């Protein structure tokens, strides 16, 4: 019996522009989204609120330990401020994650590291001793 040559979609996932894309798992998608975004900032392809909604959805799908580790990495290695706090908030929405949330908050909430940043946060004027950032 002969078969018809029928084109099958090998990659049903598409980018925002419509190009073929590889499907990635939820952990990789969350990592890519968090580490490459400035939370609530609009980009060419997506609105900031859509990015935040996608992070919240992916955080709910992943294990709490994965979300906590990603929040600590985003704050520690990548020096992001808002995305780790947002991840911790999404982690706090889960039942039974209280001790993990406390550990994560300890790693995510850090004092300003440089003096120029601390002057900005306290509202004092910059003196000549502090270099421009």
- Per-residue pLDDT of 32-87, as tens digits, reads 999 988 888 888 888 989 999 999 999 999 999 999 999 999 999 998 988 999 99
Q: Which residues contact 124 (CB under 8 A, 6 or more apart)?
A: none
Phi-psi region of 96 (alpha: psi -120 to 50; beta: other; left: phi over 0): left
Output the DSSP codes for 81-105: SHHHHHHHHHHHTSTT-HHHHHHHH
Q: Cβ contacts of residue 35 below 8 Å, gap of 6+?
A: 73, 74, 78, 80
Q: Are 91 and 68 in contact (CB under 8 A)?
A: yes
Q: Residue 20's beta-bridge partner residues?
A: 14
pTM: 0.71
Task: Give the residue from 87, 105, 104 showing the smallest Cα distance to 27.
Answer: 87
Q: In the block, which residue shows the tokens 């909430």?
A: 109
Cα–Cα distance measured from residue 72 to residue 52, given in angstroms and rounded to the nearest whole number: 18
Classified as helix, coil or strand, 51 is helix
pLDDT in tens, 4-31: 766 665 657 887 778 888 888 999 999 9
């Amino acid at each position: 019996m002969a078969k018809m040559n029928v084109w099958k979609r090998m990659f049903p996932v598409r980018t925002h522009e419509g190009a073929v894309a590889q499907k990635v798992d939820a952990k990789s998608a969350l990592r890519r989204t968090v580490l490459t975004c400035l939370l609530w900032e609009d980009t060419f392809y997506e609105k900031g609120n859509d990015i935040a909604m996608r992070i919240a959805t992916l955080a709910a799908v992943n294990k709490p330990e994965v979300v906590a580790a990603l929040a600590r990495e985003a704050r520690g290695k990548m020096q992001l401020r808002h995305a780790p706090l947002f991840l911790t908030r999404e982690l706090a929405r889960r039942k039974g994650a209280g001790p993990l949330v406390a550990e994560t908050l300890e790693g995510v909430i850090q004092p300003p590291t440089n003096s120029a940043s601390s002057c900005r946060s306290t509202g004092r004027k910059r003196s000549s001793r502090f270099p421009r950032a």
